[in-house]
Structure 1
Amino acid sequence: MRPNLTALATRREMLRSTALGFGWLALADLLATESRAAETGRSGRPDPLALKKPHFEPKAKRVIFLFMHGGPSQVDTFDYKPKLAEHDGKPLPFAKPRVVSGPTGNLLKSPFAFKQYGQSGAWVSELFPHIGSKADELCFIKSMHGSNSRHGGALLELHTGSDTFVRPSMGSWVTYGLGTENRDLPGYLTICPTLSHGGVNNYSSAFLPAAYQATPLGSAGAPINQVTVPFVKGTTPAAQQRLELDLLAGLESERAGGADAATDGRLQSFEMAFRMQNTAPAVQDLSKESAETLKLYGIDDKVTESFGRQCLMARRYSEAGVRFVQCSHSYKWDQHENLKKDHTSNAREVDKPIAGLLTDLKARGLLKDTLVIWAGEFGRTPVAQGKDGRDHNPHAFTIFLAGGGVKAGFSLGATDEYGYYATEDKVHIHDLHATILHLLGLNHEKLTYKHAGRDFRLTDVHGNVVKEIIA
């Protein structure tokens, strides 16, 4: 029988002050039991996606990660290097990295013009006029660096913190730490995820419980009209589905030894699928959006429609309570040749949708507590590969963030005069992860999970919060 909490509350002060406090200790345990019960599902098992308190007051509640698969060139997008144009065709005047992806030649100037935007005076390439118009909302980090020059390792490092082992993705760590704000939707969604360079390992929960793995919507290259939660509307009446799920849970709880982690995860996925039937169809239905909103995201243009739909769905799911949403522009930014042609095409597909997302989030009051991140897995060399391409470069690249407690109209870090190496206020991917968690109110050193006899965390034994970018 459940206790009468109203009656208990009226006796709290008495119990605390009598019998040396033993009564109060008993009551505290009773209330803790009640709290734990509130975090369990119908099966009686703990609910892994129950809302959890952060370690400290957060600046952001949710994340939208805009992933540019392939490695955009920093010296052709946001890291303006006049010396590169001045010394075009000349040899690099200092040593290239000891480990490189492939052979490269002399310095290659950017084929794109740069100009300054906004009160911040941020230099932005002509590739991104719409994003440039949002410069005073953006926080650039121009001194990013990673540990791996190959796509597979670099993608895994950016997404999971490790370029060599299978580890939980950052979206999984975030939902593990905070739970979800809407129990009728997953805590972590990835839209059009890549199927290469690590594939599912980039958004898996690895050794964390299965509930923290991302729910994929579509995949890289899938037709945009298929980028929805598949089969979300069942044909079996809801009452019958509920009976079936309760029966499965009951049978499993009676099994000798109880449920194992794999079975428990599957039962939880069934429960999530059941709850999503009433919520997901409305969230992923863009037909209710106004013509002005569709135009804002570029959905009225075949060039920008695909990524525009991703960005609009990210806004809708974030607004509905999904904790972490990733949009992927896959796999297009790997210009070992045809840099001008292909970077131009790629940028045109994402420029207007990203600016539209930032505009829409701000208009709805969501940008202040939504952390938007734009990044590739690495940058590219300022020296040429072939006639008009650039090789992989993990030693320096640029990302930007917006909203969610970061400084607006701000730039941190610098590269050398040609953009090959990060030189000032260097930020490693581990530092980025630590900072993302910090903005969400999570201490990256305390967000741990015991596995195989040791405590693991997203940043492993590394990472420092980049306090300079925090508003």
Structure 2
Amino acid sequence: MHHDSPFHCVPTQLAPLTRREFLWSSGGGLGGIALAQMLGAGSALAADATPAAGTSGVIHAPQFPAKAKRVVQLFMAGAASHLDLWDFKPELLKHDGKPSDFGEAVEAFQNGLGPWKKPVWAFQARGRCGKPLSEVVSALGPCVDDMAFIHNLVGKTGVHSQATLLQATGFNLPGFPGMGCWVSYGLGSVNENLPTFVVLPDHRGLASNGVKNWDAAFLPSQHSGTVIYPGTATPIADLFPHATGNFITQNSEAAGHAVMAALNRQHAAARADDGRLESRIRSYELAARMQLAAPEALDLAKEPDAMLEFYGVKRNPPTWPREINAAEEADYFGRKCLVARRLLERGVRFVQIWSGNDNGFPRRNWDSHEDIERDHGPLARGMAHGAAALIQDLKQRGLLEDTIVLWTTEFGRMPSTQGGKGRDHNPYVFTNWLAGGGIKGGITHGESDQWGYKPADRKNPTTVYDIHATMLHLLGVDHTKLTYRINGVDRRLTDVHGHVIEPLLA
């Protein structure tokens, strides 16, 4: 744990700034000018105001009875194998090593059409529902009765970047808002001192597409995901001056503000009707408030040892070996899960947790073309430990009942081998699971075929649009009504598709 950064050195006597105080203490710059225009009178600026508990979104009243208030999305970057984690296929055990025959022409990504390959790890029935889980994710066994599995999910592409965008934004091309952005836009914030949408990336780097997975795109920019790296000296970039900025003084800062104020007046005078100015105001205000709220929310020092151990987090992490290993993965993923719980408790609506970065060697993501056991093993054990702790912790705090937990990945992997130990991409069927927030636990909706190659019922697969529509429904939102007009088109998260998956609803 780091305790020498500004995140652990904020004076406790500071009081939160109102929007007016923050903007005008910044030299009456762009934000102050825009605010003055909105208020329409200088006298209004003199009035004292108490910051509101939150800000409303465009949906002022639930369109359905809301079962959920918040979402945690666990995203496995690189394409996790449904066949080795969640979707047990006895036929692969029977035919392991025999030539694969799909009964049709197969378009493989990297010619991964070797013999049938059995699951790398043994499966065992878990929970009262008897759901088979792989040994490598057995830590989630105590949670399985709260989880609903979808084994007939289909994608549109076997290309990582496009498939990741599809699961994150509902479109397989860039330029569309992430799901968390839509939730922020529709429902607004619960706590103005923290972002509505927080992203906790993999510590090794971003997944395919980088920030495009959580960018607000054409929505107002304040709805973009705020990136946080828990456990680092600077979890949030640029929230505080860098340690080398000891040359910054009160006078020099005031002089800088004066210059910026003059430039901002010129800028604002020519753009009086630019809605982006309000977005900038909100971003500046959030930054000011986060200087006070974020350090406390991210500080795990006061968490008891038993809770850290429960999540797999080391209070004083060792120097990890170069080889990928389960203990290190559990520490990093568990740390993000614990921070997610703390953020959810404090009013953050949507937290996105990533496991795996973009492609590199040795593999540090779920794209196991070469060796499923080597790559999936540590990642899966670490993920399962943290995810199980999060679900159980939310449940014992009474938060799981109105928090949706979604586990996803961009596509699955083939039931045939690639190079003997790996598996190729499979966008034709894969698995998601959900828990909490109005989800009926202990069930499976939609099966894959006997090989885990395509849906058992090819005419009625599940799509990401259905997942998104169902989650919005549980949040009290009609997915067809949450729209934003851009270039003459009413855009929405689910495009022109999607239906609520009624059997998943408790």
Gaps of 5+ in 1: 1-40
Matches within 5 A, 1:179-194: 179-192=188-201
How many Å apart are 1:411 and its aligned residue?
A: 1.1
Matches within 5 A, 1:432-443: 432-443=467-478
Say whether the 8 Å CA contact 1:154–1:163 is kept in structure 2. yes
Q: Secondary structure at the match of 2:125?
A: strand
Question: Which whole-Å CA distance do the structure 1 matches of 2:450 and 2:312 have between them?
Answer: 36
What corresponds to 1:307 in structure 2? 333
How many Å apart are 1:109 and its aligned residue?
A: 1.0
TM-score by length of 1: 0.84
How many Å apart are 1:42 and its aligned residue?
A: 5.6
CA deviations on 1:114-168 (whole Å, 9 max, x unpaired) are 0001110000000011112211111111111111111001000001111124211
Shift of the 248–105 alpha-carbon distance from structure 1 to 2, 3 Å rule, reads farther
Q: Secondary structure at the match of 1:139?
A: strand
Shift of the 286–217 alpha-carbon distance from structure 1 to 2, 3 Å rule, reads same
Identity of matched residues, %? 40
Farther off after superposition, 404-413 or 248-257: 248-257
Shift of the 340–183 alpha-carbon distance from structure 1 to 2, 3 Å rule, reads same
Question: Which whole-Å CA distance do the structure 2 matches of 1:439 and 1:44 have between them?
Answer: 38
Give the residue type in structure 2 aligned to 1:291: D
User: Does residue 212 in structure 1 map to residue 223 in structure 2?
Assistant: yes
Aligned residues: 424
How many Å apart are 1:225 and its aligned residue?
A: 2.0
What corresponds to 1:87 in structure 2? 95
The counterpart of 1:333, out of the listed 351, 366, 370, is 366
What corresponds to 2:445 in structure 1? 412
Give the residue type in structure 1 aligned to 2:390: L
What corresponds to 2:310 in structure 1? 296
Gaps of 5+ in 2: 1-33, 40-51, 242-247, 315-326, 358-364
The counterpart of 2:402, out of the listed 354, 361, 369, is 369
Give the residue type in structure 2 aligned to 1:288: K
Give the residue type in structure 2 aligned to 1:66: L
Higher fraction of strand: 1
Question: Which whole-Å CA distance do the structure 1 matches of 2:263 and 2:437 have between them?
Answer: 39
Farther off after superposition, 361-370 or 86-95: 86-95
Q: Secondary structure at the match of 2:500?
A: coil
Give the residue type in structure 2 aligned to 1:201: K
Matches within 5 A, 1:128-147: 128-147=137-156
Question: Which whole-Å CA distance do the structure 2 matches of 1:444 and 1:130 have between them?
Answer: 34
Shift of the 278–165 alpha-carbon distance from structure 1 to 2, 3 Å rule, reads closer
Give the residue type in structure 2 aligned to 1:160: T
What stretches of structure 1 move > 6 A for 4+ residues in a row?
234-237, 244-250
The counterpart of 1:78, out of the listed 79, 86, 89, is 86
What corresponds to 2:463 in structure 1? 428
The counterpart of 1:203, out of the listed 181, 201, 214, is 214
Cα RMSD, aligned residues only: 2.7
Say whether the 8 Å CA contact 2:74–2:408 is kept in structure 1. yes
What corresponds to 2:3 in structure 1? none
Question: Which whole-Å CA distance do the structure 2 matches of 1:90 and 1:343 have between them?
Answer: 23
Say whether the 8 Å CA contact 2:429–2:452 is kept in structure 1. yes
TM-score by length of 2: 0.78
Question: Which whole-Å CA distance do the structure 2 matches of 1:144 and 1:464 have between them?
Answer: 14
Q: Secondary structure at the match of 2:117?
A: coil
Shift of the 233–198 alpha-carbon distance from structure 1 to 2, 3 Å rule, reads closer
Give the residue type in structure 1 aligned to 2:131: A
The counterpart of 2:136, out of the listed 120, 127, 146, is 127
Question: Which whole-Å CA distance do the structure 1 matches of 2:71 and 2:483 have between them?
Answer: 20
Q: Secondary structure at the match of 1:133?
A: helix
Say whether the 8 Å CA contact 1:146–1:395 is kept in structure 2. yes
Shift of the 192–257 alpha-carbon distance from structure 1 to 2, 3 Å rule, reads closer
Shift of the 254–125 alpha-carbon distance from structure 1 to 2, 3 Å rule, reads closer
CA deviations on 1:56-101 (whole Å, 9 max, x unpaired) are 2211100001111111111111111011010112233334564331
Q: Secondary structure at the match of 2:232?
A: helix
What corresponds to 1:3 in structure 2? none
